[in-house]
Amino acid sequence: MQLGFFHTEEPKVNLPAINGLEYMPKFISKPEHESLLKKIDSEPWLLDLKRRVQHYGYKYDYQKRSIDPSMKVGELPEWALDIGSRMYNYGILSFMPDQVIVNEYEPCQGIAQHIDCEPCFENTIVSLSLGSSCLMDFYPKNDLKQKESLHLEPQSLLVLRGEARYNWLHGIAGRKSDLINGIKHSRKRRVSLTFRKVILI
Ligand SMILES: O=C(O)CCC(=O)C(=O)O
Ligand SMILES: [Fe+2]
């Protein structure tokens, strides 16, 4: 698979000042973006939530919020290992991820504000965006009235570690469009890939 371009020199437009939050535009190239979407769409979707999901490596139980060895559903597929090893080789992750959750958002679908399960997953969590852009919102856990927003674009990587991982909630409002710098961005279908390492109990 082709190596994506890694434009660390690009200005980080509208990046909230949250320790441990990083945003990397164009983490993967456009052709890779297209081929990833195709691959994901050739796999079966799970329908247990309002939005469609795919679980690789380990299944995650949204009610129990815990993971044990019996929830292993297999090794990560080649495309996930390829991207995961790039994250590891670039030093974004200090471990190889062993779980990937694919989330699909149609316009008007979002994800409730949350902190990813603390005892289930290692410190660093990354999310690769495909398809439509969207605004992700961040709320400090001790002051949910305060809000910071970040425009997530296709091909980009969002990294949450430290404070951004443990002290801030993140979520995506279920909206038809996002207003970014006064410009209305209509949402289309977005697919995100969340890479994590499971902490087994
Ligand atoms: O769609 C995203 O980028 C984030 C997904 C997410 O927060 C999660 O899977 O926990
Ligand atoms: Fe999350």
Strand partners for 148: 138
Total domain count, the chain: 1
Is 161 within 8 Å of 173 (Cβ atoms)? Answer: no
Give residue for tokens 């590891």: 88
Burial pattern 161-193, b for ≥16 Cβ within 10 A else e, equals beebbeebbbebebeeebeeeeeebebeebbbb
Pocket flag, ligand 1, residue 194 (CB < 6 Å)? yes
pLDDT of residue 15: 87
What phi and psi, each to the nearest 5 degrees, are found at residue 78?
-60, -40
Candidates 58, 61, 104, 111: which one to mutate for ligand 1, based on the most atoms within 8 Å of Cβ? 111
The domain of 45 spans 21-196
Candidates 21, 27, 104, 127: which one to mutate for ligand 1, based on the most atoms within 8 Å of Cβ? 127
Is 58 within 8 Å of 71 (Cβ atoms)? Answer: yes
Residue 15 lies in a domain: no
Pick out the chain residues at pLDDT < 50.
1-13
Residue 171 lies in a domain: yes
Residue 181 lies in a domain: yes
pLDDT of residue 201: 73
CB atoms within 10 A of CB 89: 9
CATH number at 175 reads 2.60.120.590
Contacts of 11 by beta carbon, 8 Å cutoff, 6+ apart: none
pLDDT of residue 1: 40
Q: How far is the CA of 40 from the centre of ligand 2 (A)?
A: 19
pLDDT of residue 46: 93
Contacts of 53 by beta carbon, 8 Å cutoff, 6+ apart: 45, 46, 101, 102, 103, 104
Residue 13 lies in a domain: no
Residue 201 lies in a domain: no
pLDDT of residue 50: 84
Strands across the sheet with 190-196, in order?
21-24, 157-160, 125-131, 190-196, 99-105, 53-56
8 SS3 class: coil
76 SS3 class: coil
Residue 73 lies in a domain: yes
Residue 7 lies in a domain: no
